[in-house]
Structure 1
């Protein structure tokens, strides 16, 4: 036989409401933290990954060109 205890029923409802509130507060804190982190990153004027990769590839090409020029100069002086 199952009985309905109004105290336990209300306590259960209150617990569920508290868990929902805690979850919503956690999501709000996560959103606020992400917004703050994005703002700080924007203020730091960081380079984007694709720009970094493009400059890295350009630098590698220039190094290869310098090495080829040095080799050509060494051959012409020999």
Structure 2
């Protein structure tokens, strides 16, 4: 009886082990299929990848910095132009004399 019980237990253990292996294989297959379908849907929706997003984000940051630098430069140039124009108008005005009392 002991040997018969051991053989039954051995067969059951082997069967459970095989079933676990099959379950792992099915899970791997499901994961692969699910991932492929998810990637297909994302491609169809034209969702950008993380790398593309980061590249565009960096380009936008650089453009913003360049715009700020150009804005400061324009303001400086406009300030010089206004200063020259006001200096010219002061130079061209006749001197004012103080009223006699």
Are 2:54 and 1:53 equivalent residues in the alignment?
Answer: no
Runs of 4 or more consecutive aligned structure 1 residues displaced over 4 Å after TM superposition: none
How many residues are paired up? Answer: 76
- Per mean C-alpha deviation after superposition, the further-off stretch among 59-68 and 13-22 is 59-68
In the aligned structure 2, how far is the partner of 1:72 from the partner of 1:46? 43
**Bigger radius of gyration among the two:** 2
Are 2:24 and 1:20 equivalent residues in the alignment?
Answer: no
Q: CA RMSD in A?
A: 2.4
Change (3 A) 1:54 1:31: same
Per the TM alignment, residue 59 of structure 1 is displaced from its structure 2 partner at its CA by: 3.0
Q: Report the TM-score when normalising by structure 2.
A: 0.57
What secondary structure, in the 3-state scheme, does the structure 2 residue paired with 1:51 have? helix
For structure 1, which runs of at least 5 residues remain unmatched after alignment?
none
